[in-house]
Amino acid sequence: MTTTLPGKILIVDDDMDVLRAARLLLKRHFGQVDFERNPQKIPYLVSNFEYDVILLDMNFTRDLSSGKEGFEWLDRILDLQPTAAVVMFTAYGDVEMAVRAIKAGAADFVLKPWENEKLLATMQAAYNKKNRNQEKIAPTPTSQTSSSIIGSSPGMLQVLDTAQRVAATDANILILGENGTGKDMLARHIHQLSHRTAQPFVSVDLGAISETLFESELFGHVKGAFTDARDDRSGRFEEASGGSIFLDEIGNISLPFQAKLLTVLQNRAVTRVGSNKAIPLDVRLICATNRNVEQMAAQHQFRQDLLYRINTIEIHLPALRERVEDIIPLAEHFLQLYRERYKRSAISLHESLVQQLQQYEWPGNIRELQHAMERAVILSQGKVLMPKDVFLKSPAQDQQLNTGYNLEEMERNIITQAMKKVNGNITEAAKELGLSRAALYRRLEKYNI
Instruction: Find the mean pLDDT for residues 400-410.
Output: 54
Least confident of 180-184, 280-284, 445-449: 445-449
Amino acid at 220: G
For the sheet with 201-205, list strands across it. Answer: 201-205, 244-248, 284-289, 173-176, 313-316
For domain 154-317, say whether CATH 3.40.50.300 is its number: yes
| 299: pLDDT strictly greater than 80 | yes
Segment 315-343, tens digit of pLDDT:
999 999 999 999 999 999 999 988 888 88
Class of domain 5-136: alpha beta
**Would you list the domain boundaries of the chain?**
5-136, 154-317, 324-392, 400-446
Q: How much is the pLDDT for 259?
A: 95
- Domain 400-446 fold is Arc Repressor Mutant, subunit A (1.10.10)
User: Would the CATH topology of 5-136 be identical to that of 154-317?
Assistant: yes
Buried b (16+ CB within 10 A) or exposed e, 62-86: eeeeebebbbebbbbbbbbbeebbb
Helix pair angle (116-136, 16-26), 10° resolution: 70
Amino acid at 141: P
Q: What is the pTM of this model?
A: 0.61
Cα(295)–Cα(123) distance, integer angstroms: 53
Confidence of residue 404 (pLDDT cuts 50, 70, 90): very low
Instruction: Find the mean pLDDT for residues 27-39.
Output: 89
CB–CB of 187/197 below 8 Å? no
Provide the mean pLDDT of the chain.
84
For domain 324-392, say whether CATH 1.10.8.60 is its number: yes
Segment 155-211, tens digit of pLDDT:
999 999 999 999 989 999 999 999 899 999 999 999 999 999 999 999 998 887 878
Q: How much is the pLDDT for 401?
A: 42
